[in-house]
Amino acid sequence: MKKKDKGLIIAVMNRKGGVGKTTVTVNLGHALALEKKKVLILDMDSQVNTTSRLLPGGNYRNTLYELLESDNNNIRAENCIYPSLYTNLYVLPNIGDTAALEPDLIRQQQKGSFLRLRRRLRDYAKSNYDITLIDNSPTIGTFVLSSLNCADLALIPHEIDSQDSLEGLMNAIKIITDIRETDNPDLKFLRLLANKVDRRTNIGRSVVETLHSIFTEEQVFKTSIPINAQLKEAEAKRETIFRHDGSSSSAKAFRELAREILYILKTEYGE
């Protein structure tokens, strides 16, 4: 990116469930906020786990549902965004009813429905936030395609546990390439993230080595995220790891990841 006053939008995605996309998005968002960045998190998953972790209550006048409604052309993105429980961190919440919009988005695909999120959010987010993170569902469906069409970068959390997961990873990378070549030339593949690494097991100890044996150094984050009791406890309490135990190894890893991302954005994207 050439303009210093323009933030970047990062879609967190993987077609495989259970790799920790929401945990990565929430904790990375808080880590970036602790680095004095103004961060927006968009919850694109109708299971609304990100929303429930970051916002108290649940009565929001406007959400992703209103932003994506086809007949809501006058909706303003800023009216759908709320301050989270944490300083410098904001949320565009979701509700379960948003899933019902998918048939309409599919029907209107030829009218650019997959670009609706881009038209209604992208400019505002890039002008008002240093970094926007989009948490996606574990599918490659309408909402994930909308997310990738809105984003500048795609981050893929990955847990190596089977051949199937590797195939899903390769498929996700191919989708990013396809969207860049067709609808969103701004989209680039940021990095793979080794997540939920259990170093007590053979596969846990080899996860980063395996990723680096398949992908180049520029495709994999140097930082990996360990799984431990503190992170599981934070998830159960619907807190970030920094609120629960800021001295834990997981908290330290997310701080390292945030700093690595900021370094990459500065050196590779001029941010």
Percentage of the chain exceeding pLDDT 70: 90
Average pLDDT, the chain: 88
d(CA 257, CA 250): 10
Compute the distance between CA of residue 84 and CA of residue 34 in angstroms, rounded to an integer: 13
Query: Which H/E stretch holds residue 156?
Result: strand 153-158
Roughly how many angstroms between the first and final C-alpha of the chain, as a whole number?
7
Would you state the pLDDT for residue 204? 63
In the prediction, which pLDDT does 216 show? Answer: 87
pLDDT digits (tens, 9 = 90+) for 194-216: 888 876 766 666 667 777 788 88
Q: How confident is the model at residue 86 (pLDDT cuts 50, 70, 90)?
A: very high
pLDDT at 93: 97
Please give the pLDDT value at position 18: 62
At 111-129, the pLDDT tens digits run 678 899 999 999 999 999 9
Q: What is the pLDDT of residues 29-68, one digit of tens each?
A: 999 999 999 999 999 999 999 999 999 787 788 999 999 9
Quick one: residue 107, left, alpha or beta (phi over 0 = left, psi -120 to 50 = alpha)? alpha
The residues, any chain, with a CB within 8 Å of residue 149's CB and separated by 6 or more, are 114, 115, 117, 118, 179, 183, 184, 187
Alpha-carbon span 62 to 60, nearest angstrom? 5
Confidence of residue 3 (pLDDT cuts 50, 70, 90): very low
Paired tokens of 89: 């961190």
**Residue 14 pLDDT:** 83
Instruction: Provide the CA 17 distance to its chain's centre, in angstroms.
Output: 14
d(CA 206, CA 94): 36
- Which residue type, as a one-letter code, is found at position 29? G
**The whole model's pTM is what?**
0.93
Please name which of 55, 152, 148 lies closest in space to residue 94, comparing C-alpha atoms.
55
